[in-house]
Amino acid sequence: MGAGIPAQYLPDRRGGLSILGAGTVLQWPELPGLHWYNGFQPSNAGNWSRDIFDGHVGLDFFVTPKWEWTLGGHVVNYSDTVTAPTGSIGTRYNFTKTFAVHANVNTGYRPPTLGAIHYDATSSGPGYTTVNLSETSEVARLLGAHAPKGEYSRSYSIGIDYKPIPSLQLTLDAYRIDINDRIESTSAFTGSTMAAYLAAQGVGSNITYASYMTNIGNTSTNGFTAKATYKFPIKPAYGELVGSAQINAADTELTHYADTPAILTSLGQSYFSKAAETELLRSSPKNKESFSLNWSKGRFNVFVQEQRYAGVAWLVYQSDPSSYWTHVRPQVITNLEVSAQLGHGFTATLGANNLFNKYPTHTNHKALQESSGVFAYPMTAPGGYEGGYYYARMGYTF
């Protein structure tokens, strides 16, 4: 990260001027785009990196002609954090050629990103100033920050594969994922007491929100995935038509909350508020369904897909009351792709994501007014918030 020009971060902007030093005054019109963005300060700048060394081994064997086992080991060394060993074990039993049961147990590790450790910035908008504190900064440490630990996970799954007739394939999987020490942003610390404390620590005056990355607690996710694929019995002269239907449903809950640092309690702050919890648990849809048809004949192929995403919640600012939250209604999106082989290795494709240019629920009108109309649509809308995307592609196969 590099520092911006001084006009971006020097605090004196009175009268539409940026005071850079004795005898140096720049009119804001000479610096377009800087009104509501402070830019990176010299204290934010830095260069950080890590080296990663990765090794893994896998073993797949049959103890009987019908009973298969898989074993895996994985070790990763992160030069700036830890060496993390993980593993997996799986089994599959084929009762018949058309019916099988499988199960897996896995462990995993995700280190804190370089951004989670080092990102430090100040940004402004209409009526607010936000500071994202690096956990290595002195102020963040005063507010209870510590070096984030990596996330360790355990996952379990069990499922079946069933082919009742040659043209129909069914799969069903149930799973559970437990993650310890989830890395997330804290709540947005706010209020006059917090602003005064931050000013006293030299962060700046009139800070509206402050936060840093930390381990907020543990989560558990329970869910299932079901899929059916069917090859329609049409005459070969009409090509091949394959349909697929899939549903994924999951529910995530916080099972353990990290202790709130004493300094935040004394300042009347919530370490991980209900709003922050809502962002974590409800910014992704709890279920997603899709249905697709793929038709091919000779050098032509047509793929059409209908996707449905369950509703989600979106908060413009964590400090907003629940009456300002936007509850995004379920989205239904149509995708289409048509391709043709032109010969000599060339394939031409025309396609559309969100064919009918559908938009999500509008942002809650109270939140829209609060943000001066900046966010017309929720940024967490799972089907997107930018309407249709249309493309043409030319491919060549050697």
Q: How far is CA 298 from CA 46, 122, 237, 243, 272, in A?
A: 56, 57, 10, 18, 57
**Co-location of 74 and 5 in the same domain:** no
Whether 31 and 157 map to the same domain: the answer is: no
By CB atoms closer than 10 A (0-12, 13-18, 19+), residue 226 is middle
Same domain, yes or no, for 168 and 272?
A: yes
Task: Report, as an integer, the average pLDDT of 83-87.
Answer: 96
In this structure, the answer to whether residues 95 and 30 fall within a common structural domain is no
Kindly state whether residues 60 and 30 are assigned to the same domain. Answer: no
Average pLDDT over residues 77-85: 93
Q: Could you tell me the pLDDT band of residue 77, with boundaries at 50, 70 and 90?
A: very high
**Rounded Cα gap, residues 385 and 376, in angstroms:** 9
Q: How far is CA 352 from CA 96, 210, 316, 336, 388, in A?
A: 41, 41, 30, 5, 7
pLDDT tens digits for range 337-361: 999 999 899 999 999 999 999 999 9
Instruction: Give residues with Cβ within 8 angstroms of 175, minimum separation 6.
Output: 155, 156, 157, 158, 221, 222, 223, 224, 225
pLDDT band at 125 (very low <50, low <70, confident <90, very high): low
Q: Does 36 lie in the same domain as 67?
A: no
Q: How does pLDDT run across 246-283, given as a tens digit for each residue? A: 999 999 999 999 999 999 999 999 899 888 898 899 99
Closest listed residue to residue 321, CA positions, set 283, 362, 360, 366: 366
The pLDDT tens digits for 310-330 are 999 998 877 788 899 999 999
298-307: average pLDDT: 97
* 32 and 52 share one domain: no
Q: State whether 226 and 196 are in the same domain.
A: yes
Is the same domain home to 175 and 282? yes
88 is in which domain, residue-wise? 45-396
- Residue 38 pLDDT class (50, 70, 90 cuts): low
pLDDT over threshold 50, residue 29: no
> Following DSSP, what letter does each residue of 89-134 receive, concatenated?
EEEEEESSSSEEEEEEEEEEEEPPPHHHHH--EEEEETTEEEEEE-
Average pLDDT over residues 380-384: 92
Q: Are residues 221 and 277 in the same domain?
A: yes
Domain C-terminal end among 9, 24, 44: 44
pLDDT at 395: 95
- Here the CATH number for the domain that contains residue 287 is 2.40.170.20
Q: pLDDT class for 36, splitting at 50, 70, 90?
A: low
Total domain count for the chain?
2
Indicate whether 35 and 149 sit together in one domain: no
Q: What is the pLDDT of residue 295?
A: 97
Q: Which of 29, 44, 59 is the last residue of a domain?
A: 44
Give the whole-angstrom CA distance, residue 342 versus residue 396.
Answer: 10
In terms of domains, do 280 and 224 share one?
yes
- In this structure, is the dihedral angle defined by the CA atoms of residues 40, 44, 45 and 48, taken in order, positive or negative? negative
